[in-house]
Amino acid sequence: MVVLGASFDTPAENLAFAESERFGFRLLSDTDRAVGARYEVLRPPGDELADYAMRIAYLIDPEGIIQKSFEVTDVEGFAAQVLSDLASLR
């Protein structure tokens, strides 16, 4: 299993954030928002949070097919939800 995160921040900002939060996974930089556009996490123009990606997560199988998507609203319970869904997909 591979866990990746992405944000619109610069690599230096991502590194500082990942270190401060003690992330155990890679946090990728999408400063041109090309990946965000492909994964449909861009907010509409004029949205007060348009500078930030929507919190969406995907379970992607080894063939690159999205098996499940999540709108992350409960950060505390999210990991348990993903692990449960992952187990049901196996």
Report how far residue 90's alpha carbon sits from residue 80's, in angstroms, rounded to the nearest whole number.
16
The residue with greater pLDDT, 83 or 42, is 42
The residue with greater pLDDT, 1 or 53, is 53
Q: Which of these, 82, 30, 34, 76, lies nearest to 57 by C-alpha position?
A: 82
- Residue 1 confidence (pLDDT): 74
Per the structure block, which two tokens stand in for 55? 């919190």
* 4-89 to CATH, choices 3.40.190.10, 3.40.30.10, 3.40.720.10, 3.30.1490.20: 3.40.30.10
For the chain, the domains span 4-89
pTM over 0.75: yes
The residue with greater pLDDT, 49 or 24, is 49
Bridge-partner residues for 7, per DSSP? 29
Residue 17 pLDDT grade (very low, low, confident, very high; cuts 50, 70, 90): very high
Per the structure block, which two tokens stand in for 74? 């409960």
